[in-house]
Structure 1
């Protein structure tokens, strides 16, 4: 406490209250020290499993938020796994006689695959030296590392969830150092010092929040570090700088951030010791450039925005899972037979068919009107003689008794007509077509009978039968008799 602060307290506080003076002094000291801590660093709690989801403003532009709800739900499914990662090739401290290396891996207690439709799944992050990681989804295909520079190289590998969050259990990380032609001091981290492995963000993004994730090795837990106060790394920190704004993390946990600007953004991660200084090791300071374009259509962007449900993307954490909408498709054919049963009462259809049969009968009645014209035009007796052969077909119709009565006198007419027509042909031919014109009605019943198989009762009431009494056959006979008498 400064001297001026003591003088102010002596003037404000009476001498008779030493205890009160001491308490106030303690409160003032604590408040001043706390203000100094806030100015020097900002510690962000990243353990979202212990703390409820909240929005924490960690800088002017960036804020920490809880993970997307779909990711939280899917993450619980993968908690049963404790992946164990092993680098098979290249072997530790191996010297290769080629500038190309082939890397192969083994993973236990975690299925490694990629969903063919969603293009996501549990995989490995493979980091050569301090380059951006390479995702590996198929352990059966070795990873080829071409065009390696001569010297020492380090390969780091750890298991990752489908949304690129690293598994942080014991054994989920593996590391090996090998050499191409010869050994050098480059890319050779000190295994006795803490090592920071940068993971995310990387490449491009189409939605916020964006995951910030890393992997730590040889860094003691803070609870363990407190037991060894002499350890210079017991109070380590991770400093993150995005687009020039810095904030500090004190826990090893994935963080979801908002506040990125569309376009290019740069991210820097550093490992700090107890004094807040950057710890010098091969890869403890890393910088990445990312591209943020809102409204991305990839699967991860749609998951982050909440456009897909956990059930719709569950196949990215469970290779044997199939979407549930399949039973709904099976129910649809069950409705179809019901629709087929409704038109089953087709008893009305034959009635319609009957009506359809009767309808064409009417045009058939009209057709014979044109038929008699050619039969009448030739007045030869050869055409008239077959008419009595067709007339007996009209008599068997039992549907109407009056028809045979009218037809009976007509049967005698052709005989007379044939007799008199012969004379008429000798005397005067123009009278024959006039006399044969009344013979139209006997042809009509012949055509009516042919198209009437079943619906004959409906044809009976047709007024076409009425022309029969109008037939002037007797008159024609009288006319012919008079002609004969005149002759």
Structure 2
């Protein structure tokens, strides 16, 4: 290597080392700042929406999944509230001279109620010592705690959503320690150590996923001083369900699947930086739950998606009322009008009647409904008329009958035959041996038509002029009547 090359290397190598050093310093600063932000955070964001993983296997049997869709839709409605919970009675470190204690509470910035039909709503979880919590939906009714054992007792209370997920804002939790007759060391947690409050799961369930929720007090997320936070900055929660254990390092609600039908036991433990259980009252809790699929309670139906967010919105809003009845009301209103329209159909049936007969007969039938007023009473004596009437029907005069309708002009003619007709009837009765029977059998079916027609009255009046002698009958056949 030449001397000039050595000089170049000696000049540029220190500059490269300086650049490398600055890069390493920047990387360290960024990593430290991120760690500091994690330790100083006061709340843990909860996001189980579309961007979050749908399924995360936490053990061989159990998996973490997203909350039910209806809960995801209703949860933002309650995000506007920051409940502030206060224990009114008993007072901290109060010594009571009775084993029956009455507890009362006060809540600000959160409506406490129960929807009467769905039996859910924002409420309080009240935990005496380390017993299963008692839900409170009415702040006007004090909570009676009878038959307490003598000694020290601790009451813990926090606000909860209708699906039993705790509010985790500052002020949503309250705690008091009191004594019955005397003080003891039991049920007296150290206020300077982190405290784990078990919330869910509890009691019975009718559908999966099942909520796992707890409350933390005096943990790094709630401490303002960094010196004390360093002692428990790496805390964790160990969950054991049916001998399967897994660990959470975040404080938020978790929904799990994998429970077996029947009895299941759940254990929660608070672990320190070394992964050991932290000794403090209530930091290790075990609960027994009963899982029976296809449950009929409201929470089970919400979990399975059988109820919509609109149907159960009343559990988060006391002024909301689901109105499902107006939808079917307008449906029966138009139906009666549709049922009345078939009454027009009988008109179509009447129009089919004229198809069966000849148009000429139809004309006569059109007059028939008007003629029954003049029917049989006037024509009843017609059987006494001579049987020669059917012969006139066969004569060609039957066609011009329609033309003869204006015969009122020949009114003087019918007046004369009335006298002759009257005597002819007597003559006909006397001269019965003549052969009137033979022509009577010719056209008997046409008689009702002549009887019903108005011209039938004039015809018998015209006939008597020719009837006195049998020889005049052929003249009628020739049409000489005109």
> TM exceeds 0.5?
yes
Corresponding residue for residue 280 of structure 2: 281
Q: Deviations over 1:35-58 (max 9, x none)?
A: xxxxxxxxxxx8643995123322
- The change in CA–CA distance for 1:306 and 1:131 in structure 2 (over 3 A counts) is same
CA–CA separation in structure 1 for the residues paired with 2:208 and 2:459: 100
In terms of mean alpha carbon deviation, does 233-242 or 401-410 score higher?
401-410
How far did residue 287 of structure 1 move?
A: 1.5
**Residue 372 of structure 2 is aligned to residue 365 of structure 1:** no
TM-score (norm 2): 0.63
Q: Is the 8 A contact 2:64 2:256 kept in 1?
A: yes
How far did residue 129 of structure 1 move?
A: 2.8
How far did residue 469 of structure 1 move?
A: 11
What is the 5 A alignment of 1:38-49?
48-49=46-47
What is the 5 A alignment of 1:173-184?
173-180=173-180, 184=184
Corresponding residue for residue 35 of structure 1: none
CA–CA separation in structure 2 for the residues paired with 1:371 and 1:50: 94
SS in 2 for 1:71: helix
RMSD of aligned residue pairs (Cα, Å)? 5.3
What is the 5 A alignment of 1:50-199?
52-54=51-53, 55-94=55-94, 100-149=100-149, 151-180=151-180, 184-199=184-199
Corresponding residue for residue 211 of structure 2: 211
How far did residue 374 of structure 1 move?
A: 9.9
CA–CA separation in structure 1 for the residues paired with 2:146 and 2:422: 116
SS in 1 for 2:72: helix
Q: Is the 8 A contact 2:214 2:253 kept in 1?
A: yes
Q: Is the 8 A contact 1:225 1:234 kept in 2?
A: no
SS in 2 for 1:256: strand
Q: Deviations over 1:308-345 (max 9, x none)?
A: 55455444323344569899889x69x969x989x99x
How far did residue 265 of structure 1 move?
A: 1.3
Corresponding residue for residue 452 of structure 2: 444
- The change in CA–CA distance for 1:217 and 1:376 in structure 2 (over 3 A counts) is same
Q: Is the 8 A contact 1:197 1:284 kept in 2?
A: yes
- The change in CA–CA distance for 1:228 and 1:404 in structure 2 (over 3 A counts) is same
- The change in CA–CA distance for 1:355 and 1:56 in structure 2 (over 3 A counts) is closer
Corresponding residue for residue 407 of structure 2: 405
CA–CA separation in structure 1 for the residues paired with 2:423 and 2:106: 119
SS in 2 for 1:221: helix
Q: Is the 8 A contact 2:83 2:109 kept in 1?
A: yes
- The change in CA–CA distance for 1:50 and 1:402 in structure 2 (over 3 A counts) is closer
Q: Is the 8 A contact 2:414 2:462 kept in 1?
A: no
Q: How many residues align?
A: 391
Q: Is the 8 A contact 1:209 1:304 kept in 2?
A: yes
Gaps of 5+ in 1: 1-45, 382-399, 447-464
- The change in CA–CA distance for 1:432 and 1:70 in structure 2 (over 3 A counts) is same
How far did residue 276 of structure 1 move?
A: 3.1
